[in-house]
C-alpha cells in the first residue's frame, strides 16, 4: 500500500540537480533530470559514502562528487566497472508537486 | 627528453607489483592482466582498473605499460575526444564555439554532434568554461554544469562537509578579520582551522546548510570569497617587501594586492596561483607559481608557467617590466591569453608547452596592441564575474542550501 506524501514544488529542485530530504535514518536525495523526471535515492555513494545530491546530474545518472562513480538514478546501480547499488524509493510528480512514498521511507527506517 | 634510458625499457624492467597508479593503488601486474583480458587502450584500462582515472599523473606510465605489453599493436593515441559524449577533441570544440558563434551549451551539443542528451560530468564543466570565457556577455553561467565546489563556492571534504577560505588580499589580514574568523569558527563549531600554503586561513568541516550564514558573518567583517575551490584565481602570495624588509626593493605586498584585486573572481581553465617577491631571495616562492613576479631594483621580473603540484617546474621569464603598471598589464594579458586558448584543466605550464613560450611572448609582450586588446577582453569578462559569490548566494540563494524537507519530526508508526 502506498502512502504518498507531499514533499515540495518540482521547481524547488533545479533541472539536472538534486536536493536532500532529511529522515531519521539519514538523507534521501531527490533528483530532477533535464527531462523533468524525479528520482529518490539514498544520499550515499556505495564507494566512500559521498553525498550524491551534490553530484553532476546527466541523462538519468549522477556522478558522485568525491571520486566520480556514476550511478543510475533509475536502478541505483553503479555504472561502468565499479560495483554497488544505492537504494531507490518510489517518487513521482503530480500537479507540479514532488511526492514520496512514506511507506517505503518508514520501511527504510526499520531495515 | 634528455633521458639516456629508454622509458619503455625502464617500464619493462619494473616488477609486477610496482605501483603505477598511486591514487587507486593499481600495480603494473593488474594493468598487464587487464590488457591480457582485452583492455587494449587507455580508456579501457581506466574503465576496468581505475588506473590513471583519478589525478591522471600516471597516464604516460599506463600508456608505456600498454606499449610494452602490446608492442606494435599499440598505437600511442594522438588526439583524445573530450569524453564519451562526442568524437571531437577539446580543441575542435573550442574552435567551433568561436568560429560558429555558439553561445549556449545546447547549440554546442547540436552543432558538434553530441551523442548524449545533456553531456556528462566530464564535458559539461569544460563547455561551461569555454562558453563563459568566449562569450562573457552572451552566455549565462550554468551552476548545474559545475563541480560541486564551484556550485556551492566551498570545497567538499571526504565526509560531505565543506571548507571555507575567506580572501586575504595579498596574504594581508588584520585583528578585526581574525576576530571575525575566530568568532565564525566558534559559532559554527568548526573542527579544524588551518593555515594554507597560499597565505590564507581555512575553516574545515563546515556543514553545507551553514554556508550562507557563515559567509554572511564573514561578509559583515568585510571579507569575501577566497575562491579556494575554483578553477580561477586562487591566491597572490607576497612577502613584506619594502614596507618592512631591509632587503625589499619594491612594494611587493602592494603589487600582490593590486594583482589580486584585478584578477579575483575570474574563471580560468584550471586554478591560477600567483606570488610576488620583493627581492631575488624570493621568500614568496614566486618561481613555482603560474605567474611569479620578482621585484628587483630596476623593476619587476615577470615569469610564467611554474608548478609545484603533480609536476614541479620553475617559471620561465616572460618579460621585465619597468613599472608596476606594466607588470600588472603583462600578468592580466597572459591570464587572458590562457583563458582564451588553453584546454580545460590544463595549468598554464601545460598551455605554454603546447603553444610555445615564443607564441605567448609575441602576443603578450611584443605586440602592444594585442596586449591592450587582451586586457580589454579580460576587463569585459570581469565586468560580469568580479563580484563576491558568497554575498550573492547568502542574499539570494540561501534557501537552496537547506534540506528540501525535514521528515525527522514525522510521528513514528
Which CATH number fits the domain that encloses residue A101? 2.102.10.10
CB contact under 8 A, B53 and A68: yes
Task: Determine the pLDDT at residue B1.
Answer: 44
CB contact under 8 A, A65 and B147: yes
Tell whether the model's pLDDT for residue B142 goes beyond 70.
yes
Q: Does B143 touch chain A (CB under 8 A)?
A: yes
Q: What is the ipTM of this complex?
A: 0.94
- Mean per-residue pLDDT, B50-54: 87
| Cell numbers linked to B218 | 564573514
Task: Determine the pLDDT at residue B123.
Answer: 98
Q: How many domains does chain A have?
A: 1
β partners of residue A78: A71
Nearest CA in chain A to B34: A81
Shortest distance between the Cα of B306 and any Cα of chain A, in A, equals 27
Residue B409 pLDDT grade (very low, low, confident, very high; cuts 50, 70, 90): confident
B91-134 pLDDT tens trace: 999 999 999 999 999 999 999 999 999 999 999 999 999 999 99
| Cell numbers linked to A64 | 558522485
Shortest distance between the Cα of A101 and any Cα of chain B, in A, equals 12
CB-CB: which of B145, B156, B413 is closest to A106?
Answer: B413
CB-CB: which of A8, A58, A70 is closest to B405?
Answer: A8
d(CA A45, CA A58): 16
Tell whether the model's pLDDT for residue B4 goes beyond 70.
no
Task: Determine the pLDDT at residue A54.
Answer: 98
Q: Does A56 touch chain B (CB under 8 A)?
A: yes
Q: Which of A97-106, B164-173, B205-214 has the lowest mean pLDDT?
A: A97-106
CATH architecture of B230-387: 2-Layer Sandwich (3.30)
Task: Determine the pLDDT at residue B2.
Answer: 46
- Mean per-residue pLDDT, B17-27: 92
Q: Does A25 touch chain B (CB under 8 A)?
A: no
Q: How many other β-carbons are positioned within 10 Å of the β-carbon of residue B160?
A: 20
List phi, psi (to 5°) of A67: -135, 25
| Cell numbers linked to B99 | 568560429
Residue A110 pLDDT grade (very low, low, confident, very high; cuts 50, 70, 90): low
Please identify which residue in the block is written with the cell numbers 609582450. Answer: B365
Shortest distance between the Cα of A47 and any Cα of chain B, in A, equals 12
Q: Which residues contact A31 (CB under 8 A, 6 or more apart)?
A: A13, A17, A18, A38, A39, A40, A41, A53, A57, A62, A73
Q: Which CATH number applies to B9-73: 3.40.50.720, 2.60.120.260, 1.10.10.1100, 1.10.1660.10? A: 1.10.10.1100
CB-CB: which of A8, A58, A106 is closest to B119?
Answer: A58
Q: Does A111 touch chain B (CB under 8 A)?
A: no
d(CA B403, CA B127): 29
| Cell numbers linked to B47 | 574503465
- What number does CATH give the domain B158-229? 3.90.480.10
Helix (H, G, I), strand (E, B) or coil at A4: strand
Task: Determine the pLDDT at residue B181.
Answer: 98
Q: Does B44 touch chain A (CB under 8 A)?
A: no
Task: Determine the pLDDT at residue B413.
Answer: 45
Q: How many residues does chain B have?
A: 413
- Mean per-residue pLDDT, B332-352: 98
Q: Does B240 touch chain A (CB under 8 A)?
A: no
Residues of chain B with CATH 3.90.480.10: 158-229
Distance, first Cα to last Cα, chain B: 70
Residues of chain B with CATH 1.10.10.1100: 9-73
Residue A109 pLDDT grade (very low, low, confident, very high; cuts 50, 70, 90): low
d(CA B90, CA B102): 15
d(CA B119, CA B123): 6
Q: Taking all residues of chain B, what is their mean pLDDT, rounded to a whole number?
A: 95
Q: Which residues contact B402 (CB under 8 A, 6 or more apart)?
A: B209
B284-317 pLDDT tens trace: 999 999 999 999 999 999 999 999 998 999 999 9
- For A83, the domain range is 4-110
| Cell numbers linked to B128 | 561551461
CB contact under 8 A, A58 and B118: yes
Amino acid at each position: 500500500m502506498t502512502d504518498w506524501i507531499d514533499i515540495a514544488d518540482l521547481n524547488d529542485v533545479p533541472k539536472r540537480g538534486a536536493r536532500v530530504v532529511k529522515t531519521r535514518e539519514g538523507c534521501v536525495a531527490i533528483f530532477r533530470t533535464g527531462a523533468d523526471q524525479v528520482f529518490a535515492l539514498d544520499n550515499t555513494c556505495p564507494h566512500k559514502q559521498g553525498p550524491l545530491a551534490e553530484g553532476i546530474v546527466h541523462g538519468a545518472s549522477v556522478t558522485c562528487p568525491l571520486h566520480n562513480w556514476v550511478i543510475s538514478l533509475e536502478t541505483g546501480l553503479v555504472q561502468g566497472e565499479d560495483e554497488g547499488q544505492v537504494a531507490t524509493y518510489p517518487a513521482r510528480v503530480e500537479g507540479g508537486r514532488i511526492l514520496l512514498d512514506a511507506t517505503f521511507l518508514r520501511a527504510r527506517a526499520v531495515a | 627528453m634528455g633521458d639516456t634510458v629508454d622509458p619503455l625499457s625502464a617500464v619493462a624492467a619494473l616488477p609486477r607489483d610496482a605501483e603505477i597508479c598511486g591514487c587507486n593503488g593499481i600495480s603494473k601486474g593488474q594493468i598487464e592482466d587487464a590488457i591480457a583480458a582485452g583492455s587494449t587502450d587507455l580508456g579501457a584500462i581506466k574503465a576496468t582498473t581505475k588506473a590513471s582515472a583519478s589525478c591522471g599523473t600516471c597516464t604516460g606510465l599506463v600508456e608505456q605499460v600498454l606499449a610494452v605489453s602490446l608492442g606494435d599493436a599499440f598505437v600511442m593515441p594522438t588526439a583524445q575526444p573530450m569524453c564519451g559524449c562526442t568524437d571531437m577533441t577539446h580543441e575542435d570544440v573550442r574552435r567551433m564555439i568561436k568560429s560558429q558563434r555558439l553561445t549556449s551549451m545546447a547549440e554546442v551539443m547540436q552543432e558538434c554532434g553530441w551523442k548524449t542528451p545533456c553531456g556528462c560530468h566530464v564535458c559539461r564543466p569544460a563547455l561551461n568554461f569555454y562558453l563563459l570565457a568566449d562569450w562573457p556577455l552572451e552566455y549565462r553561467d550554468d551552476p548545474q554544469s559545475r563541480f560541486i565546489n564551484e556550485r556551492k563556492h566551498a570545497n567538499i571534504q571526504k565526509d560531505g562537509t565543506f571548507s571555507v577560505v575567506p580572501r586575504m588580499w595579498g596574504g594581508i589580514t588584520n585583528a578585526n578579520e581574525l576576530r571575525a574568523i575566530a568568532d565564525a569558527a566558534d559559532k559554527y563549531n568548526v573542527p579544524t582551522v588551518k593555515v594554507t600554503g597560499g597565505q590564507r586561513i581555512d575553516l574545515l568541516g563546515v556543514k553545507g546548510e551553514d554556508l550562507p550564514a557563515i559567509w554572511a558573518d564573514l561578509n559583515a567583517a568585510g571579507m569575501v570569497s577566497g575562491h579556494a575551490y575554483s578553477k580561477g584565481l586562487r591566491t597572490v602570495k607576497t612577502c613584506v617587501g619594502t614596507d618592512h624588509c631591509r632587503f625589499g626593493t619594491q612594494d611587493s605586498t602592494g603589487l600582490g594586492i593590486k594583482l589580486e584585486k584585478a584578477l579575483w573572481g575570474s574563471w580560468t581553465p584550471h586554478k591560477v596561483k600567483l606570488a610576488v617577491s620583493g627581492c631575488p631571495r624570493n621568500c614568496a616562492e614566486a618561481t613555482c607559481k603560474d605567474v611569479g613576479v620578482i621585484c628587483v631594483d630596476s623593476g619587476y621580473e615577470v615569469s610564467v608557467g611554474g608548478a609545484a603540484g603533480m609536476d614541479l617546474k620553475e617559471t620561465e621569464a616572460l618579460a621585465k617590466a619597468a613599472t608596476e603598471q606594466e607588470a600588472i598589464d603583462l600578468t592580466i594579458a597572459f591570464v587572458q591569453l590562457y583563458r582564451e586558448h588553453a584546454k580545460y584543466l590544463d595549468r598554464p605550464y601545460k598551455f605554454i608547452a603546447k603553444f610555445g613560450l615564443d607564441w605567448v611572448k609575441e602576443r603578450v609582450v611584443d605586440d602592444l596592441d594585442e596586449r591592450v586588446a587582451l586586457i580589454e577582453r579580460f576587463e569585459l569578462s570581469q565586468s560580469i564575474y568580479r563580484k563576491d559569490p558568497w554575498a550573492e548566494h547568502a542574499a539570494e540563494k540561501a534557501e537552496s542550501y537547506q534540506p528540501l524537507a525535514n521528515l525527522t519530526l514525522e510521528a513514528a508508526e
